[in-house]
Chains A and B, each alone.
Chain A
Amino acid sequence: MLASSAGGDPAHLSIRSSAWHPSLGVPRPAMTAHSFALPVIIFTTFWGLIGIAGPWFVPKGPNRGVIITMLVATAVCCYLFWLITILAQLNPLFGPQLKNETIWYVRFLWE
């Protein structure tokens, strides 16, 4: 509803924004901080299980070597890719630049 109001009338919108907040009454919690250690532990363990422990459980057969290669390669590639992504966002140098409409609704929507 807020999104469909295009651009600018401040008075019109200030009525809306002020009407939004008290009308709901339920106090919303502030956004929780994301830890860095927890995802690292979880995903390292997950891909470690697949890549290091998994090969021990592959049944003997003609394809054992290929399956082990596949498990290890998958674990390495996917873990590395995830790790790069989280490391790139660990210490941002700049933040996102948002349009004022976006700010208006995300401010209250993502609380």
Chain B
Amino acid sequence: MGSMFRSEEVVLVQLFLPTSAAYTCVSQLGELGLVEFRDLNASVSAFQRRFVGDVRRCEELEKTFLFLQEEVRRAGQVLSRPEGRLPAPPPRDLLRIQEETDRLAQELRDVRGNQQSLQVQLQQLRLHAAVLGQGHSPPLAATHADGPSERIPLLQPPGGPHQDLRVNFVAGAVEPSKAAALERLLWRACRGFLIASFRETERQLEDPVTGEPSTWMTFLISYWGEQIGQKIRKITDCFHCHIFPYAEHEEGRLGALQQVLGETERFLSQVLARVQQLLPPWQVQIRKMKAVYLALNQCSVSATHKCLIAEGWCAARDLPTLRQALQDGSSEAGVSAVVHRIPCRDMPPTLIRTNCFTASFQGIVDAYGVGRYQEVNPAPYTIITFPFLFAVMFGDVGHGLLMFLFALAMVLTENRPAVKSAQNEIWQTFFIGRYLLLLMGLFSVYTGFIYNECFSRATAIFSSGWSVAAMATQSDWSDAFLAQHPLLALDPNVSGVFLGPYPFGIDPIWSLAVNHLSFLNSFKMKMSVILGVTHMTFGVVLGVFNHVHFGQWHRLLLETLPELVFLLGLFGYLVFLIVYKWLQDYAARAASAPSILIHFINMFLFSRSPTNQPLFHGQEAVQSALVILALVTVPVLLLGTPLFLHWRHRSRSQRGPAGRQPDEDKSGILDSSDASVAGWGPDEEKAGCPEDGEEAEFVLSEVLMHQAIHTIEFCLGCISNTASYLRLWALSLAHAQLSEVLWAMVMRSGLGLGRKLGVAAVALVPIFAAFAVLTVAILLVMEGLSAFLHALRLHWVEFQNKFYSGTGYKLSPFTFASEED
């Protein structure tokens, strides 16, 4: 059997790594992804571990990397993915990488700072140039040219030798919203001693502080008096105006500044290019290095401090590869690393290797619970039974074909990079399940042919088994008779009417019949029960493999056998009744045909209905025997295993310690799972067993309680789970009805539109569009999700609770692969 039947053998290994070669060995192991390290320093906090300094250095480097990445992103460029194999660098390279990174970061910071300050200056200058470029009204200039002697100040200046009647200017720019307030304040504060003129700039200029372009109000204030000048300066400072002195050489300065800025930006892009080239591989390498140090932190130091001891889980099949990798890693150190198996009583992790096809099915099973170590894996059977049960609920050739083609498109283009790297989550969900959808579509086409439904239309591939003509001639259905009776039924008793069962699927005449649901409901309900009982029996049989593998032979006799007798005695008998009735011809006495339901109910009540004919001779005796047998199996199931374990425990402890040795030769996993409560026990195995093994662990009351729960679950579950399989009928009915309603309401009314040539043709285009959209949205997506969910539930609950415990944990090896995405 393939390795999917049960999980692989996983062993606990102990590695002795010489200190000098520890780093390379662990990095080799990380590349291979074989070992899951166990934390031997669990009691030590993260800050006290041996390699915490190195981890911290790596983290600081990562912070710098983040800063560099941010800078690159801000410049609008993208970091490329690193190519090729990049092993973790040796520890001595860390210093070099750190220095270079710091240097690059510092350069980037400096250049950025320079660039920003140059930008600010440039904007200031531009504003200045604009202010100077603004012409203010000539009368003001003419007034100033007249000189102070002609002016009569509106207010007498304060007398004194400091009378400075020289006219001064203040020119600057202010935001337009503040211009009016500025003017008012200037007037109130310096009334009569200044003349201010405000003009708006024509173009929009960038604000030196915020960098946003906006229009500015330039102002020119002429005043006389030093104190007035100071007041004006204070006021303009309050309003955050930009004041510019008048100078002649602004043009030259603007040009020079722009040149310097250009060169700064060139240098910046050079630095960024170097960062882009160096950063991606460094990021990968430092991440690997940090992972290696974190793994090394989990190792304990040997007493002589010469080597590190690591413990981990490894698949038995990979041990030679592991040995080889350690040889390679420690070849330079002279002393080679050693690995050997150690026995362990803990439950090992589960490892099941899958390929891209089986991964999605294993994923479905694991979503419920990862299997316990080496218990039977339901996944290989799920590959077929899950799409099959889905298809039973979804059966339609047309819909199945659409689903199949969609999945086929995804499968055929699965290697294209555009398809693989799509970020949309919903698309990713569908893409991961493409093989699932492929099989679901394929089986749906098959069940669609059997249900004889293609977009709710039946096809007559073979000729129908019902002859209307024979009925009409035999029963004398004249046209007048037909006109008076809108509904007439074909009678299978009349000769020549029923010509035999349709060879493949449901007869097409049923799609024309008014009472088709009566027939289909009976057929689908019985089909659901048959499929359900078969599925559950298969589940119980799979449990046999678990018992045999773990050496629990008593459970075969005390659990599997009673379970099978109970299930098959009651519900297997129901299936037998169904098939038996199908094989009998009751057409002649259809009104008095026996009812299986009444028989089944009476079977449990030990009563009989006089009007219900028996199906076969001795039916009552057989039924009573089966019910009594089933009732007998319940106490066997309830008490068998606990009493046996109790007896065995007592006989062992009576035999004394001398007799214990040979018994403990069985592998530790078997014993622990044995004692832990008939295999359903929770975490005793994971926690590790005490030294004297299972003898001390056995508590009769606990075992009894667990077995009681198991018995009740199984027996009541048999009934409720069988009924639960009726959802196969319910959903297929819903799908068929929805499909038919859509056809009748949309397409048929479209096809029946008017007899004029062309009217229907034109109208059919939007009508078909509506039909297609509703088919995909309601029937494919909604019904598909619904059937998927119910098929999943049937697997997780009804099938798996017969044999699967799902309380394991996955082997998650130390690997760099997951970090490389």
A residues neighboring B (CB under 8 Å):
8-10, 13-14, 17, 30-36, 38-39, 62-66, 69-70, 73-74, 77-78, 80-82, 84-100, 102-104, 106-108, 110-111
Shortest Cβ gap from A15 to chain B (Å): 10
Bound form: Cα–Cα A30–B384 in Å = 42
Contact A111 B469, beta carbon cutoff 8 Å:
yes
For A89, give its contact among B385, B497, B502, B531 (CB under 8 Å): B502
Contact A65 B2, beta carbon cutoff 8 Å:
yes
Pairs across A and B, CB under 8 Å, 5 listed: A30-B496, A66-B2, A69-B383, A81-B447, A95-B498
B residues neighboring A (CB under 8 Å):
1-5, 355, 358, 380-381, 383-385, 388, 392, 446-447, 450, 460, 462-472, 477, 479-480, 482-483, 485-492, 496-507, 509-510, 512-516, 518-519, 522-523, 526-527, 530-531, 534, 579, 582-587, 590, 593
Contact A81 B506, beta carbon cutoff 8 Å:
no
Contact B466 A95, beta carbon cutoff 8 Å:
yes
Contact A70 B2, beta carbon cutoff 8 Å:
no
Contact B593 A96, beta carbon cutoff 8 Å:
no
Contact A96 B516, beta carbon cutoff 8 Å:
yes
Which 4 residue pairs of A and B lie closest in terms of their CB atoms, listed nearest first? A65-B2, A34-B500, A96-B513, A95-B490
For B530, give its contact among A14, A17, A62, A84 (CB under 8 Å): A84
Shortest Cβ gap from A78 to chain B (Å): 6
Closest to B446 in A: A78
For B491, give its contact among A9, A17, A95, A99 (CB under 8 Å): A95
Shortest Cβ gap from A95 to chain B (Å): 3
In the complex, what residues of A have CB within 8 A of residue B468's CB?
Answer: 98, 103, 106-107, 110
Contact A96 B499, beta carbon cutoff 8 Å:
no
Bound form: Cα–Cα A74–B384 in Å = 6
For A77, give its contact among B385, B460, B492 (CB under 8 Å): B385
Contact A93 B488, beta carbon cutoff 8 Å:
no
Bound form: Cα–Cα A81–B485 in Å = 37
In the complex, what residues of B have CB within 8 A of residue A73's CB?
Answer: 381, 383-385, 388
For A87, give its contact among B513, B582, B590 (CB under 8 Å): B582
Contact A94 B477, beta carbon cutoff 8 Å:
no
In the complex, what residues of A have CB within 8 A of residue B4's CB?
Answer: 65-66
In the complex, what residues of A have CB within 8 A of residue B462's CB?
Answer: 34
Shortest Cβ gap from A96 to chain B (Å): 3
In the complex, what residues of A have CB within 8 A of residue B590's CB?
Answer: 93-94
In the complex, what residues of B have CB within 8 A of residue A13's CB?
Answer: 479, 483
In the complex, what residues of A have CB within 8 A of residue B446's CB?
Answer: 78
Shortest Cβ gap from B494 to chain A (Å): 9
List 20 extra interface pairs beyond A35-B500, A100-B486, A103-B488, CB under 8 A.
A13-B483, A31-B464, A31-B467, A31-B499, A34-B499, A34-B500, A70-B383, A82-B505, A89-B506, A90-B583, A91-B582, A91-B584, A93-B587, A94-B492, A96-B513, A96-B514, A97-B515, A98-B487, A98-B488, A100-B482
Shortest Cβ gap from B503 to chain A (Å): 4
Closest to B530 in A: A84
Contact A98 B355, beta carbon cutoff 8 Å:
no
In the complex, what residues of A have CB within 8 A of residue B499's CB?
Answer: 31-34
Contact A33 B500, beta carbon cutoff 8 Å:
yes
Contact A88 B526, beta carbon cutoff 8 Å:
yes
Bound form: Cα–Cα A64–B92 in Å = 49
Contact B586 A93, beta carbon cutoff 8 Å:
yes
Contact B488 A77, beta carbon cutoff 8 Å:
no
Q: Which of A10, A90, A91 has the most CB of B within 10 A?
A: A91
Shortest Cβ gap from B391 to chain A (Å): 9
Bound form: Cα–Cα A92–B490 in Å = 11
Shortest Cβ gap from A101 to chain B (Å): 9
Contact A94 B383, beta carbon cutoff 8 Å:
no
Bound form: Cα–Cα A107–B482 in Å = 12
Contact B450 A92, beta carbon cutoff 8 Å:
no
Q: Given the interface contacts A65-B380, A87-B579, A106-B468, does A98 sit within 8 Å of B502 by beta carbon?
A: no
In the complex, what residues of B have CB within 8 A of residue A104's CB?
Answer: 479, 482
In the complex, what residues of B have CB within 8 A of residue A92's CB?
Answer: 492, 498, 519, 587
Contact A94 B518, beta carbon cutoff 8 Å:
yes
In the complex, what residues of B have CB within 8 A of residue A65's CB?
Answer: 1-5, 380
In the complex, what residues of B have CB within 8 A of residue A102's CB?
Answer: 512
In the complex, what residues of A have CB within 8 A of residue B358's CB?
Answer: 66
Q: Which of B383, B468, B482, B534 has the most CB of A within 10 A?
A: B468
For B582, give its contact among A9, A88, A107 (CB under 8 Å): A88
Q: Given the interface contacts A97-B489, A111-B469, does A14 sit within 8 Å of B384 by beta carbon?
A: no
For A34, give its contact among B392, B450, B465, B531 (CB under 8 Å): B465
Closest to B579 in A: A87
Contact B472 A107, beta carbon cutoff 8 Å:
yes
Q: Given the interface contacts A94-B489, A95-B491, A97-B489, does A82 sit within 8 Å of B450 by beta carbon?
A: yes
Bound form: Cα–Cα A80–B385 in Å = 12
Bound form: Cα–Cα A66–B382 in Å = 11
Shortest Cβ gap from B597 to chain A (Å): 14
Contact A81 B491, beta carbon cutoff 8 Å:
no
For A70, give its contact among B384, B482, B526 (CB under 8 Å): B384
In the complex, what residues of B have CB within 8 A of residue A84's CB?
Answer: 523, 526-527, 530-531
Contact A62 B585, beta carbon cutoff 8 Å:
no
Bound form: Cα–Cα A93–B470 in Å = 18
Closest to A96 in B: B513
In the complex, what residues of A have CB within 8 A of residue B579's CB?
Answer: 87
Bound form: Cα–Cα A90–B466 in Å = 12
Contact B586 A81, beta carbon cutoff 8 Å:
no
Q: Given the interface contacts A62-B2, A63-B355, does A39 sit within 8 Å of B582 by beta carbon?
A: no
Contact A90 B530, beta carbon cutoff 8 Å:
no
Closest to B590 in A: A93
Bound form: Cα–Cα A91–B468 in Å = 17
Closest to B477 in A: A103
Bound form: Cα–Cα A65–B3 in Å = 8
For A10, give its contact among B381, B472, B483, B489 (CB under 8 Å): B483
In the complex, what residues of B have CB within 8 A of residue A32's CB?
Answer: 463, 499
Contact B490 A98, beta carbon cutoff 8 Å:
yes
Q: Given the interface contacts A77-B385, A98-B490, A98-B513, does A90 sit within 8 Å of B482 by beta carbon?
A: no
Contact A85 B487, beta carbon cutoff 8 Å:
no
Shortest Cβ gap from B387 to chain A (Å): 9
Bound form: Cα–Cα A100–B463 in Å = 21
For A91, give its contact among B504, B509, B519, B586 (CB under 8 Å): B586
Contact B582 A77, beta carbon cutoff 8 Å:
no
In the complex, what residues of B have CB within 8 A of residue A95's CB?
Answer: 466, 471, 489-492, 497-498
In the complex, what residues of A have CB within 8 A of residue B465's CB?
Answer: 34, 89
For A96, give its contact among B482, B512, B587 (CB under 8 Å): B512
In the complex, what residues of B have CB within 8 A of residue A74's CB?
Answer: 384, 388
Contact A96 B586, beta carbon cutoff 8 Å:
no
Contact A64 B385, beta carbon cutoff 8 Å:
no
Contact B383 A90, beta carbon cutoff 8 Å:
no
Shortest Cβ gap from A58 to chain B (Å): 11
In the complex, what residues of B have CB within 8 A of residue A99's CB?
Answer: 486-487, 514
Q: Given the interface contacts A34-B502, A80-B534, A100-B482, does A108 sit within 8 Å of B509 by beta carbon?
A: no
In the complex, what residues of A have CB within 8 A of residue B3's CB?
Answer: 62, 65
In the complex, what residues of A have CB within 8 A of residue B388's CB?
Answer: 73-74, 77-78, 81
Contact A100 B487, beta carbon cutoff 8 Å:
yes
Shortest Cβ gap from B74 to chain A (Å): 50
Shortest Cβ gap from B610 to chain A (Å): 21
In the complex, what residues of B have CB within 8 A of residue A66's CB?
Answer: 2, 4, 358, 380, 383
In the complex, what residues of B have CB within 8 A of residue A96's CB?
Answer: 466, 489-490, 509-510, 512-516, 519
Bound form: Cα–Cα A103–B5 in Å = 56
Bound form: Cα–Cα A65–B480 in Å = 66
Contact A85 B506, beta carbon cutoff 8 Å:
yes
In the complex, what residues of A have CB within 8 A of residue B477's CB?
Answer: 103
Bound form: Cα–Cα A9–B480 in Å = 9
In the complex, what residues of A have CB within 8 A of residue B482's CB?
Answer: 10, 100, 103-104
In the complex, what residues of A have CB within 8 A of residue B466's CB?
Answer: 95-96
Shortest Cβ gap from A82 to chain B (Å): 6
Shortest Cβ gap from B447 to chain A (Å): 7
